[in-house]
Amino acid sequence: MAEKILLTEFSDEMQQSFLNYSMSVITARAVPDVRDGLKPVQRRVLYAMDELGLNSDKPHRKSARIVGDAMGKYHPHGDSSIYEALVVLSQDFKKGMALVDGHGNFGSIEGDGAAAMRYTEARLKKFTQEVYLKDLDKNVVDFVPNFDENEKEPEVLPVRIPNFLLNGSEGIAVGMTTSCPTHNLSEIIDAMELLMDDPGVTTAELLKKLHGPDFPTGGIVINASDLPEIYETGKGKIRLRGRAEIVPAKKRGERDRIIITEIPYTMIGINIGKFLNDVAELAEKKVFPDIYDISNQTGKDGVRIVIELRSGADAERILNGLYKKTKLEDTFGVNMLCIVDGRPEVLSLKRILEENLRFQHELNSRKYTYLLEKEKARKEIQEGLIKAVDIIDLIIEIIRGSKKLQTAKECLMTGATAGIKFRSEASKKQAEKLNFTENQAQAILDLRLARLVGLEILALQEEHKETLEKIALYEKLLSDRKAMQNAIREDLENIRKEFALPRRTEIMDAEEAVYEEAPEEELPVLLSMNRFGYLKMYDLQVYEKNREAITEESRSMIFCMNTSRICLFTDSGLCHQFKMKDVPLSKIKDKGIPIDNISNYDSSTENILLMDAFDNLKDKMLLFVTSHAMIKKVNASEFDSVKKTISATKLNDGDKLIFVGELNGTETVLVSEGKTVLRFRNSDISVFKKSSVGVRGMKLADGDLLSAVYDFDPSVRFVVKIGGKRINLADLKLKKRDGKPDLLK
């Protein structure tokens, strides 16, 4: 077969391919359908369990079997995603109503993972059977071919309540995310009934029935006044707060405690551990010095986190501080995106309820149409049997006189008597008048003689009466919208009666937590850095007692305040800064904290030229000198900045800083690698901004670079070693800046 090459623009092909991919992820993986509120993997897991017959009254089955069936028949995307979906469906701390009854380790609210699928077992909950999978055998939804067209799967499950609202949903697609909170089943049903009564109802009126989110972890929604806009637009932020109680000490030896019994929904999982670590860190850093201990006593009875306080602590202030500084108060982002008629769309609360009500009408219409056809078929057979009972002797004569079953059937249907022996001509003439339908004729031939007992005949007539009543009922439901809505309402009320739970989340407009940090007590401390770049902060009393040991291990030491800001000037021309409050107060044996952890300083590419507290530098003049002999004076106040890193000076290509220091003397000596030196007065150096390059300090030969800088006072003997010789700097000839340097012999 000859090749056929299609020419296309690369950018167009990429654009179309990406759109196809993104739509596939949105509709087939990450975003739920508004009708059943399920993602494809969840729908397939539940259907696979239903196919396996894992009802609530049957034994649990290994999760591996469920995952295998779901993957092999319906969802060929890997077992881990299927098992994860199964696990989440069983976790009552994540779902408003768990849909799977798990047996074994299915994870915990504290973020513990589920055991491997070969160890756990599962089955459907009764709620799932009754509300999500009921009537699948009544042609209520379309079935579509699976991925290899060897099986059929439901396009959508016949869920009888708005599951998108009940269990919420979270998913990340391509360029889109969905995030819907969970809600209370009873309130959802109230809102559905209100919409049926008044299709023109507003979102504000719906919120009088469905008051807002109802998270399985409880907690408090504290921005109730924002909910109308959130539910009108389908987007917004819900502020959640954990429920905490301040318990005063009751007897001697006890401490005041803050007991947290409900957490924000966003805290479940690893965030509980993070909350505990955050509180411990805040206590260690003396933000909350009155916190004595924190313990996690969460168990099967629910969440219980206990924070013990020191004597005299202001518990109310600490609790407000926890709301401000930890996940005990958090934000849940709402984006009610779901699939509507095959397209992703952000819906309001009313639209979600409208779409679900439309779906319920469709389900019930298909259900009652199916039942009507079934009852009509039953009516046809019942009428045939009732008629046959009255002429049972003739029918027996026809059957006995026929050589073949088909001959007897034809006679019952059309009155054809050829090939049938009758006892009398009268019987033959009576048989010629028969006109049963094919179904009736077959039912008559299948009739057992025991059905001819008098009581059985009465039961048949009673059954026929019930069938006629059902047909009348189904026809009324299908022709009268109000009657259909009453049937839907009755279903909803039955679901409420059997499965509804009390509301768990309180909704209110709470005042913002007020927390003012107590001013930190300023204390003189010592900052030390060892040769490995680890920082420690010592109390001065500790330093005095261990002066020799601290001095020996330190590469540099700075006396400053515990509230100071430290400046690091590096050879790359940058000034990095960090706060002393980020350095832990240490004991002699403590390891300290790496300088890289609390600043942007990179020890692998930069060298520190000067490290000091800004308080010690702010009123001073700093001298900057580069390897290319560029020199300038800069007022230290230029480096008063809140940024972690700022530019300390501008450098020419290939140049780097070799000296940054306080300008204490009156003269400067520059020394090059080629052993040339120049001595000049500091008054010859101009003051520049930090963003400038500066001026040349001395002339350098080609390839020569500065190697040392000395700031000194000539009235004080200052001896240095240059090129193996000891030289008193005051003995060098005094020249002008940028003058010709002297060559040392």
- Residue 505: enclosing H or E segment and its boundaries? none
The structure tokens listed for 150 are 């060897």
Question: Which residue type is seen at 181?
Answer: P
- The answer to whether residues 413 and 441 touch, using CB atoms and an 8 Å cutoff, is yes
Q: Which residues contact 530 (CB under 8 A, 6 or more apart)?
A: 536, 553, 554, 555, 592
Q: What is the amino acid identity at position 300?
A: K
Three-state SS string over 228-269 comes to HHHHHHCEEEEEEECEEEEECCCCCCCCCEEEEEECCHHHCC
Q: How many other C-beta atoms lie within 10 A of the C-beta of residue 680?
A: 21
Strand stretches in 505-638, DSSP E: 506-507, 524-530, 534-539, 554-561, 565-570, 574-579, 593-594, 608-613, 621-626, 630-635
Catalytic, out of 74, 119, 368, 543? 119
User: Which residues pair with residue 671 across a beta bridge?
Assistant: 677, 708
Please indicate whether residue 119 is annotated as part of the active site. yes
Give me the helices (H) in 480-546, please. 481-499, 540-545
Listed in sequence order, the residues at least 6 apart from 459 whose beta carbon sits closer than 8 Å to its beta carbon are: none
Strand partners of residue 304? none
For the beta carbon of residue 426, count every other beta carbon within 10 angstroms.
10
**Size of the chain in residues:** 745
Which pair of tokens denotes residue 360? 């319920």
Whether 588 and 546 have beta carbons less than 8 Å apart is answered as yes
Tokens for 302?
């629910």
Rg of the Cα atoms in the chain: 43
Q: Which residues are catalytic?
A: 119
